[in-house]
Chain A
């Protein structure tokens, strides 16, 4: 076999840890920006998460000059255009996104418009459409899961055509991602568990996918260890800042891993469950992950076996014979899933969600075949294969 080839690109500056928010003003000034726009949503505001950011920026001499707060759960081209208008009307020169995936993707879309001009984000679809750096852009995630703060993609719905537009460009990467333990401290237990399973799936799929590479592997295994060690601590003591920080950092590191190596079967199936059955994305990830790993054992048993080390630690890893490690790794993820079900009621199967009908599975399997994530699955997936994974996840 010839020497493999891969690409790895992760230039986001990560400001992480105690009083990270208080570094934003300095970073803004280093980019000659002083009039930031806050992009967030009402839920984040209600949770009291805007206040510490606003205070840190005011104290640092770069207060928000405007706020765009009307971000729905799924962003759209119209929301993006409205956000860009607020930026222009208030002569802003930077964007600070505080929130989850939708807030971050809205901000990425708005940054395209305010940097390149116009109100139609469609013009910037496609590889290579963006040719230069955009305006200063900072992301403060309020969930420990999506990893959007370090990824090159943004998904924005086009309500007129009823489709989701995928924007991909290295220029969409934020100038900085801020991981501050204060920002995830009040995330409710169910959402903490669901988003953590999303992050765990990012790292796991990055490690076993077709685009895996030695550098993303290092990020993926580090992320897995951090997430599985921190999650039980967070659920036991939700206000434990150190545990919250470890979990948030694990999610960001997982984001770096999958931004390079992409995701695969779990996400291809999970996207359809989210779209059709309105299941929370993290819930889909958690319940599908063991079954997708079993499906991929044929091509990735060594890699799945290696995951036992970050999942269970060196002593447990050493106790298990190498041939038994793949099954032991999957059993470890099942054990975590069962613990989350017992503690916060996270569904373990599709039937437990109460939102999926069994006769929907063939359609969901068919839809998954058109999902781009499937291109990175290490084993080819046809309709019967996708359906068999969904059937196994049913009960």
Chain B
């Protein structure tokens, strides 16, 4: 259980770092993020008090990562149990499947949730090998190899050395 908790905590950090970096350098994520108001907050967590991440949209249009706060976020995705988060983060089943199976609770405007999901999908497409991404997503977008390599390269560089 401790190993699972550590892995999920690592993945939460990875996602937070990845989305922050993508909000700076990836045009697709930037476009998805642009209609959301400055100050928009997103939280992903494991119930009851498991690993969590919190992102806030800054005035410059990018995400910044922070600690979960008491204030209610605009959008929250909460896994009902650590094992469900583990199944999602080890890509045993697509996130869409986990959501449909009620493994998580989505709290907030469904339109925001759809937009956030597209950003998360984009992060997975750019950071996971194709075969793993196929397990994590209902459909992996058909990107040209050179375009994917270029976008992924920019993102990894920003994640490692912002």
Contact of A371 among B101, B110, B141 (CB under 8 A): B110
Q: Is B102 a contact partner of A370 (Cβ separation < 8 A)?
A: no
For A2-22 the 0/1 string (1 means CB < 8 A from B) is 001111000000000000000
Nearest CB of A to B100, in Å:
4
Nearest CB of B to A220, in Å:
15
Contacts of A166 in B (CB 8 A): 109-110
Nearest CB of A to B155, in Å:
20
For B13-50 the 0/1 string (1 means CB < 8 A from A) is 00000000000000000000000000000000000000
Q: Is A380 a contact partner of B117 (Cβ separation < 8 A)?
A: no
Contacts of A4 in B (CB 8 A): 101
Cα distance A323–B103 when bound, in Å? 34
Q: Is B110 a contact partner of A211 (Cβ separation < 8 A)?
A: no
Cα distance A262–B137 when bound, in Å? 20
For B65-91 the 0/1 string (1 means CB < 8 A from A) is 000000010000000000000000000
Cα distance A375–B118 when bound, in Å? 11
Dominant SS among interface residues on chain B: mixed
A: contact size bracket: 20 to 34
Q: Is A372 a contact partner of B96 (Cβ separation < 8 A)?
A: no
Q: Is A127 a contact partner of B110 (Cβ separation < 8 A)?
A: no
Chain B residue nearest to A378 (CB atoms) is B138
Q: Is A372 a contact partner of B141 (Cβ separation < 8 A)?
A: no
Chain B residue nearest to A212 (CB atoms) is B100
* Interface presence of A393 (CB below 8 A): no
* Interface presence of B132 (CB below 8 A): no
Nearest CB of A to B4, in Å:
17
Contacts of A369 in B (CB 8 A): 114, 118
Cα distance A376–B109 when bound, in Å? 16
Q: Is B107 a contact partner of A128 (Cβ separation < 8 A)?
A: yes
Chain A residue nearest to B103 (CB atoms) is A5
* Interface presence of B11 (CB below 8 A): no
Q: Is A127 a contact partner of B105 (Cβ separation < 8 A)?
A: yes
Contacts of A262 in B (CB 8 A): 100
* Interface presence of A209 (CB below 8 A): yes
Cα distance A163–B111 when bound, in Å? 11
Cα distance A209–B137 when bound, in Å? 16
Nearest CB of A to B47, in Å:
10
Nearest CB of A to B131, in Å:
17
Q: Is B107 a contact partner of A127 (Cβ separation < 8 A)?
A: yes
* Interface presence of A61 (CB below 8 A): no
Q: Is B137 a contact partner of A370 (Cβ separation < 8 A)?
A: no
Q: Is B114 a contact partner of A375 (Cβ separation < 8 A)?
A: yes
Chain B residue nearest to A5 (CB atoms) is B101
Q: Is B101 a contact partner of A370 (Cβ separation < 8 A)?
A: no
* Interface presence of B115 (CB below 8 A): yes
Contacts of A7 in B (CB 8 A): 101-102
Contacts of B120 in A (CB 8 A): none
Nearest CB of A to B33, in Å:
13
In the complex where A5-B101, A7-B102, A210-B97 touch, is A372 in contact with B137 (Cβ < 8 A)? no
Nearest CB of A to B8, in Å:
19
Interface residue ranges, A against B (CB under 8 Å): 4-7, 126-128, 163, 166, 209-211, 262, 369-372, 374-376, 378-380, 382
Interface residue ranges, B against A (CB under 8 Å): 72, 96-97, 99-103, 105-111, 113-115, 117-118, 137-139, 141
Q: A371-B111, A376-B100 are in contact. List 18 more A-B contacts (CB 8 A).
A: A4-B101, A5-B103, A6-B101, A7-B102, A126-B108, A127-B106, A163-B109, A166-B110, A210-B97, A370-B111, A370-B114, A370-B115, A372-B111, A372-B113, A375-B96, A375-B100, A375-B113, A375-B117
A sample of 26 cross-chain residue pairs with beta-carbon separation below 8 angstroms, ordered by A number, consists of A4-B101, A5-B101, A5-B102, A7-B102, A126-B107, A127-B105, A127-B106, A128-B107, A166-B109, A166-B110, A209-B100, A210-B96, A369-B118, A370-B110, A370-B111, A370-B114, A370-B115, A372-B113, A372-B114, A375-B100, A375-B110, A375-B113, A376-B100, A378-B138, A379-B138, A380-B139
